[in-house]
Amino acid sequence: MEILDTSIANVALPHISGSLGAGQDESTWVLTSYLVANAIILPMSSWLSLVVGRKRFYMSCVFLFTLSSMMCGFAPSLPLLIFFRVLQGASGGGLGPSEQAILADTFAPEKRGMAFAIYGMAVVVAPVLGPVMGGYITDNFSWRWIFFINVPVGIISLLLVSRLIHDPPALKAERTRRLSSGLRIDYIGMSLLALGLGSLQFVLDKGERDDWFSSHTIVWLSIIAVVCLVFVIFWEARQKQPVFDVSLFRSRSYAVSQMMMFMVGFVLYGSTTLLPLMVQTLFGYSATNAGWVLTPGGLVIVVMMPIVGVLVGKVQARWLLGIGFVGQALALLHMSRFELGTDYKTFVMARIFQSISLAFLFIPINVAAYIGVPPEKNNDVSSAVNLMRNLGGSFGIAIAATIESRRLQFHRSILAEHVYGGNSALQQMLAGAKASLMANGYSATDAARRAWAMVDGMVQQQASMLAFNDAFWILGMMFLLIAPAIFLMRANKPGSGDTTAMH
């Protein structure tokens, strides 16, 4: 529900803006408001779970997410829709970390691989299914139903959680210990995190649209984000009851795990943005057909997750990560060789190849992040893992879009240099096109103008294809360069429940 809602509304924006009488730029706040609220709550969810009690906090998030989803569907105006999206994003920010912490506490370390495999199916497949489901629901029903579908799931979740989920003894003891000396609220840490992450998410979401640092708003928010996030690290490191426990990052393996999860989010969301955009703009695919390019890869992930879940108990996590990083790099480098004549089957197979290796990343990283961490810190680990994945996704979408846009300008300028009057091949093409158009009834002047327009369109197409290729190549090389980081992680003992490897 929560991850699906980060992407399901994307394709419905034109319908939302038309229905509510808003402009296209104004309607993008439906996406931005959710992402900003989500990013602010994620790192605080661990502290809130301890203060309120994890089960109580989780049920509150499910209830508020379900209620706000319903109100989004009924929203009569854009301002109200954005308000309810803020509530939806804030409550959704507490779901993922709580769920992951519940799994970590429920299963012994040697069984966490399979637990995270099943959980990972939803986490990895949801961004892929979001645009497909959003497009289908919007085209066949109404955009309001992309929010209404959350309601029955939320009600069932509340009923099941109330009966089946309980806070573990370690969490209860930690909560009692913290509250015994009185509740201390780190207002400064909360404010710095909220302001820093909120500003950063706004910059990443709006940066490309506003031409990055040519916008004064983007410049100032970037400065605010950097200052707040740097200062909060030093502030939280000195707090006895931090909102976000940065002390865990002193462990080398833990820090590397978080960096790798950032990269998984980066490539998952970045490539999931690039591929549908490419097939729609260059190959004429509809939104639904573009979604079907991604869907087979999502099904492969569902199959691969349990397999990797078993392997985590038998093979060192870092070797599985090595397979994942190299596989991702090769898949992305293969995508960088797409041509304008590439067919649907080739796109699907490339995505399937990428999806196979993605399963080798998500599960081992999640398992490695908890190794050596005391049970009472599981909430903190879950918050950090989800924050890194979401931040990686936001950076991935923003950077992938920027690379494609900048490289398009570069390749267009290079190709345009060859379009000049003295180019004999160009003159032959223009003459042939002009003759063909005149044979179809166009005047000589109109035919000449249209012939030049055809050449300009060809230049634009080729430049765009090369730009997408460059973006995939850069993403692939980034994965190759980060792959050696697996050797910074200490070797764990598969299946032993080893809790010493982090130290």
For the chain, which residues make up each domain, given as ranges? Answer: 1-184, 186-239, 245-405+469-503, 411-462
How far lies 125's CA from each of 83, 88, 98, 393, 447, in Å?
27, 20, 19, 14, 49
Q: Six-digit token pair at 471?
A: 């973006």
**Burial of 487 (C-beta count, 10 Å sphere; 0-12/13-18/19+):** exposed
Q: How many C-beta atoms lie closer than 10 Å to residue 221's C-beta?
A: 20
Quick one: how far is CA 3 from the chain centroid? 9
Q: Are 309 and 363 in contact (CB under 8 A)?
A: yes
SS3 468: helix
Full pLDDT tens readout for the chain, 503 residues: 787 777 677 667 777 777 777 665 667 777 778 888 888 888 888 878 878 888 888 999 999 999 999 999 898 888 888 899 889 988 988 888 888 888 888 887 777 778 888 887 777 777 777 767 777 787 778 888 888 988 999 999 999 999 988 888 877 777 777 777 666 777 888 888 888 888 888 888 788 777 788 888 889 999 999 999 899 888 888 877 777 888 888 888 788 888 888 888 888 778 877 888 888 788 888 767 777 887 788 788 888 888 888 888 787 777 888 888 888 899 999 999 998 888 888 999 998 888 888 888 888 887 778 777 777 777 788 888 888 888 888 888 888 888 888 888 888 888 777 765 566 666 666 666 667 767 776 677 777 777 767 777 777 888 889 999 999 999 888 888 888 888 877 666 665 444 333 33
Q: What is the 3-state secondary structure (H, E, C) of 34-97?
A: HHHHHHHHHHHHHHHHHHHCHHHHHHHHHHHHHHHHHHHHHCCCHHHHHHHHHHHHHHHCCHHH
Give the DSSP letter string of 393-413: HHHHHHHHHHHHHHHHHHHHH
Decide yes or no: CATH 1.10.540.10 for domain 1-184: no
- Do residues 242 and 47 lie in contact, with contact meaning Cβ atoms separated by under 8 Å? yes
Q: Which CATH class is domain 245-405+469-503?
A: mainly alpha
Best CA proximity match to 299, nearest among 116, 117, 129, 113:
129
Separation CA 335–CA 329 (nearest Å): 10
Give the 3-state secondary structure of residue 341: coil
3-state secondary structure 168-221: CHHHHHHHHHHHHCCCCCCHHHHHHHHHHHHHHHHHHHHCCCCCHHHCHHHHHH
Tokens 């299914």 correspond to 129
Q: How far apart are CA 208 and CA 10, in angstroms?
A: 16
